[in-house]
């Protein structure tokens, strides 16, 4: 859970104590029971912008794989087996620098599965050397 910003009222009182009453940021921070760095930042913000209101917190980050790359990747996923790292490399060849997690999220949201490796010794039938139980 994200922390909520301090109230504008508290911000205004701290800034007023520093700029109008002449307190130091350290003294105002102690008086209002906040961190010194918080008081410094509020005074700096007021001097730069003329307001004490906080900036935006959080926000939506657009997806890496979208548009023509999304269309291509949907078609590619239906063609043949894939690995996530392989898809990252294929996207890079097409000019999109997507990381592993962007590809994982895309594949997961489309309800597809992926192989972790192209092959595994345990997934292949390995011929035995010599027939078991034969006497010769």
pLDDT in tens, 93-118: 999 999 999 999 998 888 776 555 55
What pLDDT tens digit does each residue of the chain (136 aa) get?
557 789 999 999 999 999 999 999 999 999 999 999 999 999 999 999 999 988 777 777 788 888 999 999 988 888 888 888 999 999 999 999 999 999 999 988 887 765 555 554 555 555 555 555 555 4
Rounded-to-integer distance, Cα 86 and Cα 111, Å: 18
pLDDT at site 117: 56
| Predicted local distance difference test score (pLDDT) of residue 79 | 82
- At a CB cut-off of 8 Å and minimum separation 6, what does 87 contact? 73, 76, 103, 107
| Same-domain pairing of 75 and 39 | no
What own/partner pairs with CB < 8 Å and gap ≥ 24 does 87-90 have? none
CA dist 106 and 66 (Å) reads 10
Residue 82 counted as domain residue = yes
Determine, yes or no, domain membership for 37: yes
Q: Which residues contact 36 (CB under 8 A, 6 or more apart)?
A: 25, 26, 29
Among candidates 93, 89, 9, 101, which has minimal Cα distance to 52?
Answer: 9
Place of tokens 């504008």: 8
65 in Cβ contact with 103 (< 8 Å): yes
| Domain assignment of residue 98, given as a range | 68-118
Is 12 inside a domain boundary? yes
103 domain residue, yes or no? yes
Query: Are 81 and 110 in a shared domain?
Result: yes
The backbone torsions φ and ψ at residue 110, rounded to the nearest 5 degrees and listed phi first, read -90, 5
Quote the number of domains for the chain.
Answer: 2
């Amino acid at each position: 859970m994200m922390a909520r910003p301090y109230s504008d009222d508290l911000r205004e009182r701290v800034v007023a104590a520093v700029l109008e009453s002449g307190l130091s940021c350290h003294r105002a921070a102690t008086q209002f029971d906040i961190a010194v760095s918080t008081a410094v930042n509020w005074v700096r913000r007021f001097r730069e912008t003329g307001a004490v209101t906080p900036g935006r917190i959080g926000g939506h980050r657009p997806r890496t794989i979208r548009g023509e790359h999304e269309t291509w990747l949907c078609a590619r996923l239906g063609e043949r087996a894939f690995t996530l790292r392989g898809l990252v490399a294929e996207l890079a060849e097409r000019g999109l620098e997507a990381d592993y997690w962007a590809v994982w999220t895309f594949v997961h949201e489309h309800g597809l599965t992926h192989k972790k490796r192209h092959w595994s010794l345990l997934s292949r039938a390995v011929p035995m050397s010599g027939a078991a139980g034969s006497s010769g």
